[in-house]
Amino acid sequence: MTEVADGVAWVRSRIAAAAARAGRREEDVTLVAVTKGIELARIRDLVAAGVTDVAESRVQEAAPKVAALRAAARWHLVGHLQRNKAGLAAGLFSVIHSVDSVRTAEALSRHAPEPLDVLLQVNVVREPQKFGVAPDALAAMLRGLALLPRLRVIGLMAIAPLHPDPEHARPVFRRLRSLRDEAAKVLGTALPHLSMGMSDDFEVAVEEGATLVRVGRAIFDFRTRNPGEMS
C-alpha cells in the first residue's frame, strides 16, 4: 500500500468507529478528500485507494487536476467562491459546498451545463473572518436558491472555529444540524446533506450527523500525525 492508501484506510476506520458510536451506518458518510496543494501523482494514489469524491479549495488550482482526472472522481469545491469565478466553477465541479450569496448562486445557475448540487455555507457562530450566511438569514436565502433552475440545494456546510480540542466543535456541528432540520421543515423540502468536519474534528462531526467530511491533512500527512500506525 502507498502512504496515501494508508492514510485513507486510517481515516475510513475513524469514520466507521465514530458512526458506530452514534448508531449510524458508515456508508451514510462520504469521505471527501481535500487535495489543495497535492500533486497529481498522489491524487492518482488517492483514487486508486478507492476515494471517488475529491475536493479543491481554489478554482484555478482545480482546473488542471479536474482536466486530468475528471472521469476518475466526482469533484467538489469546498473553498470560498467569488462570483467572477462562478462560470468556471460551474463547468468544473459536481458539488459546490460554499455558496453564500444569491448573486453567486445566480451566476452558477446561469453557467451550469447540467443541474449542479450545491450546499449553503452557514457562519454558525458569526465569526467576522469567515464567509457564510448568518443563521437568521438562512430560510430566506434557501427560498431564493430554490427558485434557480439549474441548482439543486442538497444541504448546509459549516467550518468550526480552530481549536486544539475537537470537542470544541461539537456545539457548532449540533447547531448546523438543528438549523438544517428547522429549514427543511419550514421549506417543506429535503436537505439531506451536512458538510462538516475536517482533519482535526471529523470524528465529532460524524457523531453529530455529518454526511460529507472534508479531510486532507489527516490523509496526506498520515505518517506525521500517526507514527507507527498502519505499518
When comparing pLDDT for 37 and 231, which is higher? 37
Q: d(Cα 125, Cα 134) in Å, to the nearest integer?
A: 8
8 A C-beta contact, residue 230 and residue 49: no
Model pTM score: 0.94
**47 with 72: CB under 8 angstroms?**
yes
The dihedrals phi and psi of 154, each to the nearest 5 degrees, come to: -110, 0
Model confidence at 171: pLDDT above 70: yes
Among 135, 138, 123, residue whose Cα is nearest residue 196? 123
- Given a cut of 50, whether residue 177 has pLDDT beyond it is yes
Cross-strand bridge partners of residue 31: 213
- Enumerate the β-bridge partners of residue 212: 30, 195
Supply the mean pLDDT for the chain: 94
